[in-house]
Amino acid sequence: MKNKLAFLSMAILLFLALPFQAKAADNQFPDVKNHWAHEEIMYLYNHHIISGYPDGTFKPNEPLTRAQAATMLIKALDIPLTVNTSVQFKDVAKTSPNYAVLATVHEKGILRGDNGFMRPGETTTRAQMAAILRRSFELPLDTQATFVDVSPAHWAYQDINGIAKQRIAGGSNGRYMPSESVTRAHFSAFLVRALDDNMKLGKYHSYVSNKGKTVEQNGSIYTISKEDDFRFYVTKENQKTGKKDMLLNNLDIKKEDYFQTLLLTGFPLILYNEDIYIPYWHSVGEMSELPASYGLMKVQTDSQNFEFMSHPSGYTFRNMYIWNDRIFYTNEKNKERYFDYTFDENIPLDDPLVLISTAMDGSDKKIEFRFDARVIFDDVAFTPKHIKVNQNNKSVAFDHSTMYYFNKKGVFKYSLLDQKTSKLSNILAKEMRVTATHIEVMDQKGKKYSLKK
């Protein structure tokens, strides 16, 4: 008897949550005939997972409710409805046709409520959809940033990255739009890609680079290692096995000029999908042994296709970052400052900088932002006795979709997303380090502070 009741509940729910199938497939859904998700919608229709409205339409742009999403997943995954459950919801009675399905997805951990409320009629956001699908298909969480508008602080960050890495969900112009409601068409497309590998999106693509002296990505650690005073390697170490591969050896690269330094311990690496970008010292003073200009080289994570890039480059090319398929870097605004042994990093000095971006091929050059930053550089030099002048300011740091910087007036952040600037502190900083949740700052006297992002 209880099984019959469960079956009846399911039938009623399908009738209410997913409008009934009214016509033959050949003549079905005139409103999706030329829709971008036509193939995915018809896939689910032909597998009896979704239906249309009595008038024969599908209404692909209507938002999907939580109850409807739950029903689609129950059908797609062929999950038996829970029987004899003690699950209670404050907003779904046991007599409701939604109850059996919602109790089932709740117990399976697929779709959860808050404080006893299941909110069956509430529309589903794209972030919620990512979490629901990842849990439903038991996909791995992923920490690699994918979209420019989903930062590590977002509650569904790893869920969204997880379904993107599995080529289930994509975005638009590098954005995922996590707060937007999921339409019937979108959910249909995501669900089909989760069900059928042949329907997945093309190659995975991240829109946020990973920059550092040591960079972790896809289970490997990348860095520049030193063998002796003349030999340096770009290495890739497997985190599970400990196996280390040499991707690039500075002595094997044919220099364009004798007075160049291609690799040094501490040079930053910028990983963008399968490419490693390395800003290097394009020219070095013969007497001072200080860099006079900078260039950029690139190699793939499998050590293939090394190349010297023609852009960006120059005397003041610094602080490179890649974001949303564009290369960002700074130039000095007023002059090309010459650095020699008279330069003292302990004396606070600000320079006006210009944040510039270009397309990946160097075209479409734009000025993004003008700001002042302290003239102080990373701890990279030939020897500890050399003045620290190089391709990265300590006063400028990128993290996901934000640039942090400090000058005589304090510590600031600039959003690459909305081009807005805000002040974080009045601290006269000397060093800055970005963590997952804070900005660690050291002032002129060596006192340390922790600022919320």
What local confidence, expressed as pLDDT, does residue 258 receive?
74
Amino acid at site 449: Y
Burial of 425 (0-12, 13-18, 19+ CB in 10 A): middle
In DSSP notation, 304-338 reads ---EEEEEEEETT-EEEEEETTEEEEEEESS----
Residue 345 Cα to chain centre, angstroms:
34
Find the helix or strand (DSSP H, E) in which 270 lies.
strand 269-272
- According to DSSP H, which parts of 347-406 are helical? none
Question: To which H or E segment does residue 374 belong?
Answer: strand 366-374
Measured CA to CA, the distance from residue 222 to residue 244 in angstroms comes to: 10
Nearest partner of 111 among 87, 93, 142, judged by Cα: 87
pLDDT > 90 fraction of the chain, expressed in percent and rounded: 75
pLDDT for res 14: 42
pLDDT in tens, 237-250: 999 999 999 999 99
Q: What is the model's pLDDT at position 1?
A: 40
Coil, helix or strand at residue 67: helix
pLDDT beyond 60 at 19: no
Q: Which amino acid is residue 410, in one-letter code?
A: G
Q: How far is CA 311 from CA 279, 282, 298, 357, in A?
A: 10, 12, 11, 11
Per-residue pLDDT, 228? 86
- pLDDT band for 6, please (50, 70, 90 cuts): very low
| Residue 19, token pair as written in the block | 């409008």
Q: What is the pLDDT of residues 153-195, one digit of tens each?
A: 999 999 999 999 999 999 999 999 999 999 999 999 999 999 9
- The verdict on whether omega for the bond into residue 312 sits within 30 degrees of 0, i.e. cis, is yes
Name which of 322, 349, 333, 326 is nearest 268 in CA terms: 322
What confidence tens digit (pLDDT) does each residue in 206-259 have? 999 999 999 999 999 999 999 888 899 999 999 999 999 999 999 999 887 778
| pLDDT tens for each residue of 52-87 | 788 888 999 999 999 999 999 999 999 999 887 888
Largest Cα separation within the chain, whole Å, is 93
Amino acid at 407: N
CA distance linking residue 152 with residue 245, whole number of Å: 29
pLDDT at 392: 95
Q: Which residues contact 126 (CB under 8 A, 6 or more apart)?
A: 169, 176, 177, 178, 179, 180, 181, 182, 186
Q: What is the pLDDT of residue 336?
A: 67
Confidence of residue 335 (pLDDT cuts 50, 70, 90): low
pLDDT at residue 138 tops 80:
yes
For the segment 136-150, the average pLDDT, to the nearest whole number, is: 96
Structure tokens at 382: 């030939």
Q: Model confidence over 341-398: pLDDT tens digits?
A: 888 888 889 999 999 999 999 999 999 999 999 999 998 888 888 888 999 999 999 9
What single string gives the DSSP state of each residue in 272-305? ETTEEEEEEEEEE-TTT--EEEEEEEEEETTS--
Mean pLDDT of the chain: 90
pLDDT of residue 9: 45
